[in-house]
Structure 1
Amino acid sequence: MINHESLKDGKQLLLFLLLSCFYSAQKITIDNKSDFPVEVEYSYKKFEIGIHQMKTINEKNGIKNISILYKNEKNLKRNIYVFLNPQESLNINLRKDTIKFKGDKEILHDYVYRGIEADLIFKIAEYQNYYQKNDAKGFIRTSEMSLSNVLSKILRLNNSPLGREDIHYKEIEELAKERWFFTVFVSFNGNQLNNTGKELMPYYFEKYFKKDITTYSCESWYHYDIIRKYSQNMKLLNLKLPKYEIVEHSDDDEVNQHLPTKCQEEYFRGSYNFWVHKKDLVRAEKYKKILTEKFHTKL
């Protein structure tokens, strides 16, 4: 005998699940209150928002990063990391060169966008002071405390109902560690390591870098600077790094062979940008050809 009530409940549950899937999308509204248009890019999509206009994005697949180009005389480009779960929403308000957030995790988005960088860069002068004084222990102690403070702040600002179980919480932690790691490395003076540098680099290699070597994709310049510095000094420090196929040969093959493809691309991009800056169009064209033909880079 058919239980009509059970059948009815089953249909309602199915309908609920279908509707949940259908409406399970991030909602991001970009409100351009500035006096010039902006260009927005995310997930290989691009569109323009006019002066004092707004655009709402409903993305079921999830957005991790939004790039905003201010089309004023400065042509400033801002990258915004997004940490929204399905059915969460965020307003991104643009005024002149500033960005403000309103909505789910607004304080956390603001801290990731501007606060982490400020807290970490503030410590570079202190790191350099320890480095110049050959005080490796002071350098390590201060850097570890800096990382701990930033991670503690992220924990306090995380107002997600899911707490540390929020799927994006780990992403924010990793992003903070990545930026922190970069501030540590820019504190070393140039490529020539002093005795302190020779002590510090193996320490950070074993504790932080070694387990993540294969994840360094050079999607950010942070990755490139760190992995290249290790590659340049691997023999000096007696370290082992993976080897990769050389996409395009150069005078730096010995270093570049330890860089993934995307990181090798960054090497040639740096050369291209250098010659563009020097207004040497012949040499710039050479590297442009390498980037577009060998790495399929869009310039």
Structure 2
Amino acid sequence: MKQSFLGKRIFCILLFSSSVLSSQKITIINNNTGSVTIKNNKTEVILKDGNKKEFSGIVNKISIKGTQDLDRSLTIYLEPTEKLILTIKNNTIVYQGDQAAINEYLNEKLNVDTYGKMKDYLQASEKKSLSPLKINSELFLTNILKKVNLKSIIISSEDTNSTKKIKTHIKYNWLYTIFSSVISLKDKNFSKEVINYYYQKYIESDTAEFSCNGAFQYSVMEILIKNKDIVSAQFPMYTIVEHSDSDNINQYLPKTCQKYFFFNKYRYFEHINDPQKDYYEKVLNEKFTD
């Protein structure tokens, strides 16, 4: 009996040790000319050329900043035990390791594909008929999903956390380009038809426990709220975490989404090196740390 108990205890210890030792790891190698600054949550590291840094544990975003031509914010898509190597060379990023191709596509190519499709959405909308736009956009979505080895954009209970994250990012990126294209036509009746179709099919199921883990979710909800008079939805009200000139939008969004208003502002002012970035960084660090 004692031997059996001891065996089980040793097994549990080994299992725990294995899970710790095999936790998610991201290694960043700087083969660029000059130093780069890496930010992961509150950790900031300066990598000189030729050096590397390993980040362990669950990593959501990695910020990489070097010269004027290197200023990137990467979202990481990995399971807890997977490993990814990012090599910086000539101001570009080379992806190696687990899910390297998927991480590369989502961070380097998805925006090119979705934003490049907007002209087709405008052409499909010329007759102010939903059907051509629906066929065009949903066929395009199917092609995107094939590139990341997914068959459906709908989240299921069997999906891993990484898969859920990938589906959410693709869906709201895709929806943002559709909504932006249609809204630009300034046809309220057509916008109403389009927005309600996509809202009911792709967004409504998310709203019961809505939260944001990316900027595109905020941007899509911002469009919906600005056009709430034509959307068949009720938007609950939330406490404003930090007042701004977008309180009329943020009051309808949970804290996880309000965060991305300040994140977007911070990224913009940081990119143009405007001193206003300090205020937005301070708000993010003090009000949105959880």
Normalized against structure 2, the TM-score is what?
Answer: 0.78
Secondary structure of residue in 1 paired with 2:227: helix
Structure 2 counterparts to residues 112-261 of structure 1, below 5 A: 112-155=106-149, 166-190=160-184, 192-213=186-207, 216-246=210-240, 255-261=249-255
In the alignment, the residues of structure 1 paired with residue 244 and residue 36 of structure 2 have an alpha-carbon distance, to the nearest angstrom, of 38
Choose from 65, 69, 72 the match for 1:77.
72
Find out whether 1:64 has 2:60 as its counterpart: yes
- Structure 1 residue 113: deviation in Å? 1.8
CA-CA distance at 1:139 after TM superposition: 0.6
Provide closer, same or farther for how the CA distance between residues 26 and 277 of structure 1 changes in structure 2, counting only shifts above 3 A: closer
- 107, 112, 115: which one pairs with 2:101? 107
Question: How far has the Cα of 1:45 moved from its partner?
Answer: 1.6
Cα gap change, 1:191 to 1:217, in 2 (>3 Å): farther
Q: Is the 8 A contact 2:225 2:249 kept in 1?
A: yes
SS in 2 for 1:78: strand
Match of 1:40 among 38, 42, 56: 38
Distance 2:148 2:266 in 1: 37
C-alpha distance in 1 between matches for 2:25 and 2:243: 45
Cα contact 1:127–1:143 (8 A) shared by 2: yes
Q: Compare CA radii of gyration and give the structure with the larger one.
A: 1
Q: Any idea what SS the aligned residue of 2:125 has?
A: helix
Q: What amino acid is aligned across from residue 50 of structure 1 in structure 2?
A: K
Q: Is the 8 A contact 2:215 2:264 kept in 1?
A: no
CA distance in 2, matches of 1:254, 1:243: 10
* 1:140-193 per-position Cα deviation (integer Å, ceiling 9, x unaligned): 111111112212221179xxxxxx865422322222112111121221243944
Aligned residues: 283
8 Å CA contact 1:131–1:197 kept in 2: the answer is no
1:277-292 → structure 2 map (5 Å cutoff): 288=279, 292=283
Q: Return the letter of the residue paired with 1:67.
A: S
Using the alignment, how far apart are the partners of 1:85 and 1:186 within structure 2?
Answer: 35
Distance in 1 of aligned mates of 2:210 and 2:185: 20
How large is the Cα RMSD of the aligned pairs? 3.9
**CA gap 1:20/1:98 in 2 versus in 1, 3 angstroms:** same
- Give the structure 2 partner of residue 160 of structure 1: none
Extract unaligned runs of 5+ from structure 2: 152-157
- The residue identity in structure 2 corresponding to 1:148 is T
Rounded Cα–Cα distance in structure 2 between residues aligned with 1:27 and 1:288: 32
Identity, in percent, stands at: 25
